[in-house]
Amino acid sequence: MKIWFDMDGTLADLYAVEGWLPMLRAYDPTPYEEAKPLVNMSLLARLMNKAQRIGGHEICIVSALSKESNEEYDEKVINAKKRWLGKHLKSVHFDEMRFVPYTFVKNDVNSGDDMLFDDEARHLEKWTGVAHHASEMIDTLKALTA
């Protein structure tokens, strides 16, 4: 099973970065790099690695690009998000990373029985596998890897 993780609002506290919205509207990717983690990243990394090692699960990212979008800015956002993951989850090998348009239906990456952690109801409601709110991430992964 693939376990998909959203980034903004799930792993990274993008919306707490001061001035995040005006920066994104100005095509500035800084908030994607400066966002603080929303959970204990050391614990999350251990759980992700354990899920891969003992559970045979694939650990994946599905994260939307900015609503303010163009080809050049999308590339900057992707690079910023990859740097953020490299900084905060450096011990995790991601099996797949999908950086998708803002309007993308995340269920389109679901192979049928995949799991999703996300903070947005619209993605959780449309997910046809197992969907969990971001707030359930640590407890769910603990139970999955027990």
**Each residue's pLDDT tens digit, 8-27:** 999 999 999 999 999 999 99
- Please say whether the beta carbons of 62 and 116 come within 8 A: yes
Distance CA 115, CA 60 (A): 10
Residue 60: pLDDT over 90: yes
In sequence order, the 6+-apart residues with CB closer than 8 A to the CB of 26 are none
| pTM listed for this prediction | 0.96
- Structure tokens given for 19: 């001035």
Q: Which domains does the chain have, with CATH numbers?
A: 2-144 (3.40.50.1000)
Q: What's the pLDDT score for residue 68?
A: 86
Nearest to 98 by CA among 121, 116, 113, 124: 116
Per-residue pLDDT tens digits for 94-126? 999 999 999 999 999 999 899 999 999 999 999
Joined together, the tokens standing for residue 107 give: 């269920």
